[in-house]
Chain A
Amino acid sequence: MSGPHGFDIDAIRKQFPILDVEVNGHPLVYLDTAATSQKPQVVIDAISDYYSRSNSNVHRGVHTLSQQATDIYEETREKTRALINAADAREIIYVRGTTEAINLVASTYGRQNVGEGDEVIVTAMEHHSNIVPWQILCGEKGADLKVVPMDENGDLIMEEFDRLLSDRTKIVAVVHLSNALGTINPVKEMFQKAHAVGAVTLLDGAQSAPHMAIDVRDLDCDFLAFSGHKIYGPTGIGILYGKYDLLSQMPPYQGGGEMIASVTFEKTIYAELPAKFEAGTPHIAGTAGLGAAIDFVNQVGLDNVAAHEKSLLEYGTERIGSINGVNLIGTAKHRSGVLSFVVEGVHPHDVGTVLDSQGIAIRAGHHCAQPVMAHFGIPATVRASFGMYNTTDEIDRLYEGVQQVFEVFG
């Protein structure tokens, strides 16, 4: 099967060794990419090669291996800059993942700039990682956390966002693509409005980064957070992008080695960006893997990935949505990558177990978005989420799996 622009699904699938695994006697159908993506061989090899041939610490040795490790580490920073069209590689900070990136901003920029009576705005469809750090900050500072509500389809109610914005708004932190509903939010418009009242903006790109091109200068976001492991790279490495002027005025997040220019017991002078925010020995192997993942994604082309996944979502919405007794959760106008549903009378965990018995991996639960579940009045959903390697045949397997659920629980 070959799609538009030479998108060859068979060739892509061959690059993911895990897709050959059998689960419970069936070929694996992996529909849990929103939790973490599978890894192509080039990413696995890059990590293994790094440890086999280049392993060393960065930025401190005069020896050859240290230089190699430093090169890998900094090349990935440049690749990341290009991926998101940042102006300067020093705006790319390595962190463990999206969660750490958001915590970093809340603990540094937030502590410095949010005070009593100020407000932080998030939306009703945030992942817990874009709620809790702001709650902690607001609790500490006597500030208020405001929430943009959504409607019954899972679209934000933009009039309410407009109403919430004021000169008290200091930070607007918004998820780009909802992990629980698949909604794509109109973030460019939201950031324009946020900037108009003088607020700083943060984009949670954990889910969107693997599905669509993100241009930080076009969207004009002040901060962007995303994770390597959702974009076909390894776990434990993620990115915080921040505008240079903001990052340079922020205090450090953690103290230690790597992040200093000079240390005496009387005074420490912090290093320049990006080192100021990268205390300690970093996840160098993770950057090797992430660099390979970015090359891989660029080779396939994010536009091709987006087109392929759009057709999967359309097919899945039609096929799964047509089943009597299945209700789709989240039917926003613009969606990507996620098909969330409930099966009448059967708890999502039971659905998950029946599907697993047929080798189908989905996520059953609240998806770390309990306020979203509360909004729809349900404890949990079944979530099938797509990556570049999924096929319509796999959606047919999901369809048959759901029929099996009815047989067991009929």
Chain B
Amino acid sequence: MNDLSDLYQEIIMDHRRNPRNEGLPAEHTHTAEGFNPFCGDKVSVGLKIKDGSITEVGFTGEGCAISLASASLMTEAVSGKSVDEAISSFQGFRALLTDGDGDVPDGIDLGDLEALAGVRAYPTRIKCAILSWHTLKSALDNKSAPVTTE
């Protein structure tokens, strides 16, 4: 039996109640929208990138606690990081949620993102947690079409 407190950890509930970096940066250089057609979760991510570094990041969205907390945690994780570091965090986070044993590749420190490890036990909710990251990647790639989880 899955324990709900593994899923809804205190840090997740905190980010849901008090989302960090809500709203897109006024002078963003990169932006993208993400959508999960199954549950209707929506997220937009905006970035200001200067000399290969993410100097500002923000999001807007509507969705469940997991998707909103994940977006908020993501903005904290990539703020001030280089684009390469952000992409490697995405890879590490995806491994945490979806790889067979959940082992994060060596050299990637996920920090607070580890709080979302409990989502692994809820396969239907993994897309909620990963939507904002797909959207971030799409923004970094400067794709114009909205990204979906499908």
Residues of A bordering B, CB below 8 Å: 24-25, 346-350, 353-354, 357, 364-366, 370, 373, 379-380, 408-409
Contact = CB atoms under 8 A, between A and B. Distances in A.
A353 B39 contact: no
Contact of B66 (A24, A348, A350, A379): A350
Contacts of A370: 40
Given A353-B7, A353-B122, A408-B8, A380 B2 contact: no
A24 B40 contact: no
Contacts of B1: 24-25, 357
Interface stretch (B57-65, B72-80, B83-91, B109-117): B57-65
Given A370-B40, A408-B4, 12 more contacts: A24-B2, A25-B1, A347-B65, A349-B63, A350-B8, A350-B64, A350-B66, A353-B7, A357-B4, A366-B39, A379-B40, A409-B8
A348 B1 CA distance: 21
B64 A347 contact: yes
Interface in B19-60: 38-42
Nearest to B16: A409
Nearest to A365: B39
Interface in B91-150: 122, 125, 128
B1 to A, nearest CB: 5
B4 A349 contact: no
Interface of B: 1-2, 4, 7-8, 13, 38-42, 62-66, 122, 125, 128
Contacts of B38: 365
A366 B62 CA distance: 14
Contacts of A354: 4
Residue of A24, A353, A364, A365 with highest tally of chain B CB at under 10 A: A353
Contacts of A366: 39-40
A349 B125 contact: yes
A75 to B, nearest CB: 39
B65 A373 contact: no
A365 B4 contact: no
B8 A349 contact: no
A24 B2 CA distance: 7
A348 B62 CA distance: 12
B37 to A, nearest CB: 9
Nearest to A354: B4
Contacts of A353: 4, 7, 122, 125
22 contacts: A24-B1, A346-B65, A347-B63, A347-B64, A347-B65, A348-B64, A349-B125, A350-B8, A350-B64, A350-B66, A353-B4, A353-B122, A354-B4, A357-B1, A365-B40, A370-B40, A379-B39, A379-B42, A379-B63, A380-B39, A408-B8, A409-B65
Contacts of A349: 39, 63-64, 66, 125, 128
A373 B40 contact: yes
Contact of A379 (B8, B62, B122, B128): B62
A394 to B, nearest CB: 20
Contacts of B39: 349, 364-366, 379-380
The 3 lowest CB-CB distance pairs between A and B, nearest first, are A347-B64, A349-B64, A379-B40
Nearest to A407: B4
Nearest to A358: B4
A353 B64 CA distance: 11
Nearest to A24: B1
Contacts of A350: 8, 64-66
Contacts of A409: 8, 13, 65
A38 B8 CA distance: 31
Nearest to A347: B64
A350 B68 CA distance: 12
Nearest to B38: A365
Residue of B8, B13, B41, B64 with highest tally of chain A CB at under 10 A: B64
A219 B66 CA distance: 47
Contacts of B122: 353
Nearest to B62: A379
Residue of B4, B41, B42, B66 with highest tally of chain A CB at under 10 A: B4
Nearest to B42: A379
Residue of A347, A364, A373 with highest tally of chain B CB at under 10 A: A347
Contacts of A379: 39-42, 62-63
Contacts of B128: 349
Contacts of A24: 1-2
